Amino acid sequence: MLTLCSLGLSMITFFFKNRQPSTIPASKDPVIPKTWLETTKNPVTPAKDIRPADQTFLTFPEWFLVFSPEEQANYFKQHTATSFPYMKHTAQIWKSYRIVNQQIKGNFPTNWGYHFMIWVIGVSTTVEYTLKSCYETIVGRLTDTKLAITEEDQFNARFTQDYVDFIKDRPWYEFDFKSRLKDLWKNTSFSGPHFFRKWERKYILTSELSIKYVYGKLIGIGTKQVYGQALPTTAVVLDDDSLHYLPRYNKFAPAVLALAQKGHSFKEIAGNNSAILITVWVPAGNGTGFDNAITLFVQPISSAPSMKRVAIATPVSSLSEVLLQLEKEHIQVEHVFDF
C-alpha cells in the first residue's frame, strides 16, 4: 500500500512539475509545401541505394533515442540519474513522432515497416523511462547525493557516454553491455562513503545492464530477420551528376558539409530530391527562422536549459545553402537525417 501511495504521489508530482510543453509545433497544420514532398521521377541513383522519401522524417523518433542518452551523458557528468527528467523525454518521443507523421501523411505510401519499428522502440523506451522515473522518485531519492560523487554514479556517466559514442554509428543492440556489467563489479569498491548509495546504484545498474544485454540480443536477431543488414553508406548525386557514397548516420552531416564547402549542391540523396530534415541547437532565446527552410517544431533541452533543439526541413537542392548559412552563423547542426 505504501509503495502504491508513493507511486501515485510521484506521478502527481511529475505532472505538476512538467506541465510546460516538451515539444512545440510550428503550427497545428502541416507547414511543408506539398511541392517539397514530391517523390523523385526517374532517379539517377541506383535502385539498390534508394530509400523511401518519408524516412528522413520518420527517422527522427529513432534518432531521438540517440539524442536522449547523449543528454543523459552530459547531465550525469555533474548530476545523478535520480534527478533526470525521464518522463519529459518520453513525451518528446511521442509528440515529435506525431508532428513528423502529420507533415508526411497523405503524401507518401504508408511506410508500415518503419512505423512498426518506431512503435516497438517507442513503447520499449516509454516502459524503460517510466520504470526509471518511478524507481528514482521512490527509491533513488532516498540515497541520492545530488552530485555524481560515488564510484557507481561516475561509472554510470562513463558507461552512458561510451554507449552514446557507439550508437551514433552502430545499432544500440550491438553494444557490449556484458563487458560493462563486468566493469561495474570489477572496478567499483564494495565499501566507502555513501555506502547505501553505492549498493543501491550497483543494484539498479546491474538490473539495467543485464536486461539490455538480453533484450539487445533478441532485438538484434529480430531486426536482421525483418529488415536485413542496413547499408553503411548513403548515395548522393551532386550538381555535376556525379554519384558519391557518403558515410551514414552521425558522419553524414560533416560529409555533406564538406561537399557544400567545395561549392557542390545536391540533386539526390538516397534517390530523393524532396525535403530533408535537419536538427540544430540554438540558444533558448533565439528565433527559429532560417532562409530556404521551414521550422517543424522546437524542443527544450533538459540537460542544457539555455539551449533548444529546432527541427527544420529544406529541399535536397537547398541543403548546401542551408548548411553553409548555419555554419556562417555558428549554429550547431545536431543531425542531418539521410533517409
Kindly report, residue by residue over 202-211, the tens digit of the pLDDT: 999 999 999 9
Is residue 25 domain-resident? no
Task: Specify the 3-state DSSP secondary structure of 299.
Answer: strand
Query: Is residue 204 located within the same domain as residue 95?
Result: yes
pLDDT tens-digit series, residues 247-288 = 999 999 999 999 999 999 999 999 999 999 999 999 999 988
175, part of any domain:
yes
Say yes or no: 59 and 150 in one domain. yes
Residue with cell 523511401: 52
List pLDDT tens digits, range 94-138: 999 999 999 999 999 999 999 999 999 999 999 999 999 999 999
User: At residue 285, what are phi and psi to the nearest 5 degrees?
Assistant: -90, -5
Residue 182 CB neighbours (<10 A):
12
Residues 255 and 221 in one domain: no
Distance CA 78, CA 85 (A): 15
Q: Is residue 293 part of a domain?
A: yes
Residue 12 lies in a domain: no
CA distance 69 to 179: 19
Quick check: 96 and 311 in contact, CB under 8 A? yes
pLDDT at 1 over 50: no
pLDDT at 307: 96
208 and 237 part of one domain: no
Whether 172 is covered by a domain: the verdict is yes
Q: Is the dihedral of CA 64, 224, 247, 114 positive or negative?
A: negative
**Residue tagged 510543453 (cell numbers):** 21
Of residues 315 and 39, more confidence is placed in 315
d(CA 309, CA 195): 39
Average pLDDT of the chain, as a whole number = 93
Structural domain including 263 reads 233-336
Query: In terms of domains, do 119 and 200 share one?
Result: yes
- At residue 228, the pLDDT reads 65
pLDDT digits (tens, 9 = 90+) for 264-275: 999 999 999 999
Contacts of 290 (CB under 8 A, 6+ apart): 312, 322, 325, 326
For residue 161, is it left (φ>0), alpha (ψ between -120 and 50) or beta? alpha
The string of pLDDT tens digits covering residues 16-65 is: 445 567 899 999 999 999 999 998 899 999 999 999 999 999 999 999 99
- Give yes or no: residues 293 and 175 share one domain: no
Same domain, 191 and 303: no
Residue 236 · residue 203 · CB < 8 Å: no
Residue 17, in any domain of the structure: no
> According to the per-residue pLDDT averaged within each range, which of 8-12, 37-41, 83-87 is highest?
83-87
Domain final residue, candidates 170, 193, 225: 225
Q: Is 80 exceeded by the pLDDT of residue 225?
A: no
Number of domains in the chain: 2
Assess contact for 23 and 95: CB atoms under 8 A: yes
Instruction: For the chain, report the end-to-end CA distance as a whole number of angstroms.
Output: 49
The pTM of the full predicted model, rounded to 2 decimals, is 0.89
Q: Are 37 and 107 in contact (CB under 8 A)?
A: yes
Last residue of a domain, one of 182, 197, 225: 225
Q: Are residues 76 and 216 in the same domain?
A: yes
Q: Is residue 7 part of a domain?
A: no
